[in-house]
Amino acid sequence: MGFPVIEPGAQFKQNQDNQASWISKGSGGGSLSTGRIVLITLVVMAAIGVAGAKDIALIANKENHLDGMTTPELVKVCKGQTNHWSDGKPVTLVIRDPGSTEMRLVLQKLYEMPKEDVSALISSANHTRQSHPAIVIVDSDEALVKRVETTSGSVGLVDVYAITGGVTVVKVSGKLPLEPGYLLHGN
């Protein structure tokens, strides 16, 4: 294990002077100007924003035989206002915690309300359906996909990169995830 090297006082002073000289040269001499620093900062912030923006897919249990939903139909499912599918199976929506970053896009595009109101809405929707809840909250995308895969009549909203062959991807207003104009596109 090595120990840090402590510069002699004269060497430290010379390094400090060199650093001050490098900063004061502005855009010439290989230093970073204020404009370049701002540009680099903006590029890094944009990259972080893009990395955080996810495309969310609507998935369904394979037994549902559900190919597509309109946006108003999906909003009704999200708000617990659709109790049964046309074949009589009870509807269950599986989602992540409304307060999680993964759900930010869903709150904005489908619920159009703050996370506290969504949590209250979920509690209210589930109050009358205790044997078969309208909305189930899970801890991870993997758990969400597994729950939809194993629960007849269920649909879920999940990051597109978590989808497996055990579920069906459902069109929303005629569009699949990653297609131009898709409602739940993260950017």
Q: Kind and range of the H or E element at 138?
A: strand 135-138
Rg of the chain over CA atoms, in angstroms? 25
What is d(CA 63, CA 72) in angstroms, rounded to the nearest whole number? 22
Q: Looking at residue 48, what is its pLDDT?
A: 42
Per-residue pLDDT reduced to its tens digit, 24-39: 555 455 555 665 655 5
Q: What is the pTM of this model?
A: 0.71
Higher pLDDT, 75 or 132: 75
Q: What is the mean pLDDT of residues 104-120?
A: 94
Q: What strands, in cross-sheet order, belong to the sheet with 154-159?
A: 68-69, 167-172, 56-61, 154-159, 92-96, 135-138
Query: Domains along the chain?
Result: 11-52 (no CATH), 56-172 (3.40.190.10)
